[in-house]
């Protein structure tokens, strides 16, 4: 098994029920993950506080993951950063069994799929820069939070548009 930043050695816990270790991992993310608009980018940092407990069936991993996700607001398209804080608990089994999704390989466990799943599922599907973000003007694309009094002239009724030039004056605003 190749070593990654997510790989944890558990040789000192294997087949010793009742033993427990705590460990902290500071991971520089080798490959980014997230959804289409927000995620933890490549080179981002995750801090993982682990508690590893040896059981008869395997190693129980309890973890708290902290980091920062970056993306863009789906309403106004500005760049945003959002803290990521997730917790998970997963059993890594000693033997291959359908009842367990993860297993101990040789004397290590790979936390990447568990961390990736926990972080991605915690990310918002439609992140916003602030809850009351009004987005962009549909006519000209100006960010409405930066221009609160932003208005356009009332559109001319297309049925009367041909008559606008006949009077020699501009149409009145409604």
Task: Express each pLDDT in 13-53 by its tens digit.
Answer: 888 888 899 999 999 998 989 888 999 999 999 999 999 99
Q: What is the pTM of this model?
A: 0.77
| Distance (Å, whole) CA 11 – CA 127 | 41
56: left (phi over 0), alpha (psi -120 to 50) or beta: alpha
Q: Rounded to an integer, what is the distance from CA 135 to the centroid of its chain? A: 21
Interatomic CA distance for residues 4 and 92, integer angstroms: 17
What is the pLDDT at residue 127? 93
DSSP H helical ranges for 64-166: 112-122
Of 3-17, 34-48, 68-82, the one with minimum mean pLDDT is 3-17
Which pair of tokens denotes residue 96?
Answer: 């291959």
User: Residue 85 to residues 3, 35, 43, 64, 115: CA-CA distances in angstroms?
Assistant: 25, 16, 18, 7, 11
Q: Is 135 helix (H, G, I), strand (E, B) or coil?
A: coil
> Sorting pLDDT into bands at 50, 70 and 90, what band is 169?
low
Give residue 63's Cα distance to chain centre: 17
Which residue from 2, 6, 3 is spatially nearest to 90, judged by alpha carbons?
6
What are the domain boundaries of the chain? 7-122, 134-174
Q: How confident is the model at residue 126 (pLDDT cuts 50, 70, 90)?
A: very high
CA atoms within 13 A on the CB side of 110: 13
Which of 105, 98, 118, 106 shows the shortest CA–CA distance to 50? Answer: 118
Whole-Å CA distances, 156 to 60, 133, 150, 169? 68, 29, 19, 14
């Amino acid at each position: 098994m190749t070593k990654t930043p997510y790989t944890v050695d558990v040789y000192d816990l294997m087949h010793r029920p009742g033993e427990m270790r705590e460990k902290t991992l500071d991971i520089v993310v080798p490959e980014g993950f997230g959804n289409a608009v927000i995620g933890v980018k490549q080179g981002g940092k995750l801090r993982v506080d682990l508690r590893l407990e040896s059981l008869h069936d395997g190693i129980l991993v309890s973890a708290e993951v902290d980091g920062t996700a970056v993306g863009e607001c789906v309403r106004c398209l500005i760049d945003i950063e959002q803290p990521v804080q997730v917790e998970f608990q997963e059993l890594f089994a000693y033997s291959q069994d359908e009842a367990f999704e993860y297993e101990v390989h040789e004397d290590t466990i790979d936390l990447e799929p568990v961390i990736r799943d926990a972080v991605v599922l915690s990310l918002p599907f439609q992140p916003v820069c602030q809850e009351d973000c009004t987005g962009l003007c549909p006519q000209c694309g100006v960010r409405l939070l930066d221009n609160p009094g932003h208005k356009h002239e009332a559109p001319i009724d297309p049925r009367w548009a041909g008559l606008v030039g006949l009077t020699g004056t501009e149409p009145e605003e409604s």
